[in-house]
Amino acid sequence: MDGDKDKGAAASQGAVTPDERPDPSGWNQSDLLSYKLAILSRLFERGSEAQLARRYGLWLTDCRLLGHLLARSPRTVRDLAEDMVMDKAPISRSASRLVERGMLTREADPADGRSAVFNLTTEGRKLASTIMSKAQVGQGRYLSLLSPEESWTLLEAVDKLLDFAKTRVVRNPGDDEK
């Protein structure tokens, strides 16, 4: 009886006891968290890509690169690839497009002459700020579907999963299979 009382208290505080966690033994592909997150990401990206191409003539990678440089620059392609968890080739192509459009500058890396550092131009900074403002409005629309508590819980949970994936999965692939 007291156990039921404890479960109720945990549920009212938003905590899930081990007894309440779903049993994954009967799950299929569409029940997996990684699958659901991948589908959600693809759906968000499809809508964003179409709008970005129509409004600014940019690819999603271009806009993400601008956003990263707005937050922290100058950066090399290697730095950006690590920050964005992407291969260097698409980032390099994106940086070249943005240099051609006058959004970025490219200079020799003083620390490594074989590499280049990229920085936003004044025009690039303005565009990046505009895009980030619109992205924040879009994120607000998605989060408005949730209560404020659910929004914070979701964002905190995603941050925990990202931290785990960046330190364990990305750096040590296959460790979880042992």
Domain residue spans in the chain?
45-145
Q: Which residue in this structure is represented by tokens 């690819």?
A: 59
- Asked whether the beta carbons of 66 and 127 are under 8 A apart, the reply is yes
Cα-based distances in Å from 161 to 33, 93, 169: 11, 29, 10
pTM above 0.85, yes or no: no
Q: How is domain 45-145 classified at the CATH fold level? A: Arc Repressor Mutant, subunit A (1.10.10)
pLDDT tens per residue, the chain (178 residues)? Answer: 444 444 444 444 555 565 666 666 667 778 788 888 999 989 988 888 888 999 999 999 999 999 999 999 899 999 999 888 899 999 999 999 999 999 999 999 888 878 899 999 999 999 999 999 999 998 899 999 999 999 999 999 999 998 888 887 655 445 554 4
Q: Which residue in this structure is represented by tokens 């997150």?
A: 37
Q: Which residue in this structure is represented by tokens 């785990």?
A: 164
Q: Which residue in this structure is represented by tokens 């003083």?
A: 110
Q: Quote the CA–CA distance of 149 and 146 in Å, as a whole number.
A: 8
